[in-house]
Each structure stands twice: as C-alpha cells, then as structure tokens.
C-alpha cells in the first residue's frame, strides 16, 4: 500500500541529501518517479544538497496542481511509482491535500522533505498540513548544531550576521553565504540562543542580549 511520508528537521540536517538518496534507491530498483522542489538554493528547477549533489527537478509554484499533473502524465502513458517532494514546507495546504489524494487514489508513494518552522518559530503551512495528513513523520537523526555546540533546534534568519525576526516568510538564502556580502542568510541555533538573538557573529564580538523572546 502506498504511503505519504514526511521527513523533517532543521536546516543543514541532510533533508535534501536524503531526498536525492531516496530517488536513487528507488530508481536502482526499477521504479520510476518524479522529483519536485521549491526555492532551492541552487536555483529554479534544481534539487541540490549542501554536499554538492544536484539533479533537475520540477519547480513547485503556488499554482501547480499535483493531482492534475500526475493524472495527465498517467493518461498520456507515463509511469509514476513515486514522488520525491523537497522543500515541502513551501507547498500550500491544497497541494499537500493533493499529494495525499495521489497516495490514496493512485497508489503512488510520496516522500516529502521539509523544515517544520520558519525563522519566527511558526509552522510552515505545508509542513503543518503534512504533519496532519502523513502516514508517517520522521524527524531526521543527523542533528544540526548551534554555534555553541548544543543541538540546533531553531532556524534563524540573519542580515550581515544579525538575527532578524520580521520580513517575508520565504526569502532564499544559505548558511554558506560569504560573511562580507550584504545578503540574507540562515543559521541554526539552540532555543536559548535563538531567544537571545545570539548568532555566531554576535557571539564572536562579545555581544549581549536580553533573555527575552525575539518575537511577539
């Protein structure tokens, strides 16, 4: 019986690497799948990992209907045994519902990968719906670490090393952006340092911050 499975964790815990490995494993056993992604760090229509591996994928826009896409492929003679859906936190609630319908009515396995919460510690729409609907939810065991060495549990958005708590939910960046570039980046922090807005850059210069929640 087909299943909808959701693999989740913080940034830098190997979600996209596992997505690529999942596709490879199923293809090596003769199964045929489709890969999807959204707002990947490597650009549009690419599924990439921080280990340097990448492969072409179908870009998921807000208007993409997974059900119509799959049914159209099957109607025209295509074979689809599974879907690998990376960056699933960016999918809409309706799109996740469509993935569940594909699993139930077309017997196609769906493997979704995504972050649970945004930089404000709030659930992403797609992730919330996946938790509600998935047959199985797996928290990845490769733990990302805060700069202090503690387990990283919260995703922080930074601007030139300083943590920010306001702005658009979806802003593509990367934890590996050059330190001197005026760009938005992301960093994994433990809860204590997320609360105190203590990024690695702030800690390096000995900055102090009140012990308060950085969000309302």
As annotated, the active-site residues are: 87
> 199 versus 171: which is more confidently predicted?
199
The model's pLDDT over 112-121, given as tens digits with 9 standing for 90+, comes to 999 998 888 8
At the topology level, CATH places domain 4-139 in: Rossmann fold (3.40.50)
Per-residue pLDDT tens over the stretch 43-97: 677 787 766 677 889 999 999 999 999 999 999 999 999 999 999 999 999 999 9
CA distance 42 to 125: 23
199 compared with 34, residue with greater pLDDT: 34
**Between 169 and 201, residue with greater pLDDT:** 201
Question: Model confidence over 151-161: pLDDT tens digits?
Answer: 777 888 888 77
Q: What is the DSSP code (8-state) at residue 152?
A: P
The pTM of the full predicted model, rounded to 2 decimals, is 0.73
CA 162 to CA 75: how far, in whole Å?
51
Positions of CATH 3.40.50.300 in the chain: 4-139
Pairing status of strand 4-8 against strand 184-189: unpaired
């Amino acid at each position: 019986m087909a299943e909808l499975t959701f693999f989740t964790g913080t940034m830098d815990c190997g979600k996209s690497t596992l997505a690529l490995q999942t596709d490879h494993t199923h293809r090596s056993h003769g199964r045929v799948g489709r890969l999807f992604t959204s707002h990947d760090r490597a650009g549009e229509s690419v599924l990439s990992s921080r280990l340097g591996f990448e492969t072409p994928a179908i870009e998921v826009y807000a208007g993409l209907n997974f059900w119509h896409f799959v049914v159209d492929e099957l109607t025209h003679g295509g074979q689809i045994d599974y879907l690998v859906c990376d960056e699933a936190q960016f999918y809409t609630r309706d799109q996740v519902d469509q993935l569940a319908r594909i699993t139930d009515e077309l017997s196609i396995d769906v493997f979704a990968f995504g972050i649970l919460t945004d930089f404000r510690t709030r659930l992403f729409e797609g992730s919330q719906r996946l938790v509600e609907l998935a047959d199985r939810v797996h928290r990845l065991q490769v733990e990302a670490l805060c700069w202090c060495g503690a387990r990283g549990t919260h995703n922080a958005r930074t601007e030139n090393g300083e943590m920010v708590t306001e702005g658009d939910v979806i802003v593509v960046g990367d934890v590996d952006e050059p330190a001197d570039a005026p760009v938005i980046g992301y960093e994994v922090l433990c809860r204590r340092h997320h609360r105190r807005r203590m990024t690695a850059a702030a800690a390096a210069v000995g900055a102090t911050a009140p012990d308060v929640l950085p969000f309302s």
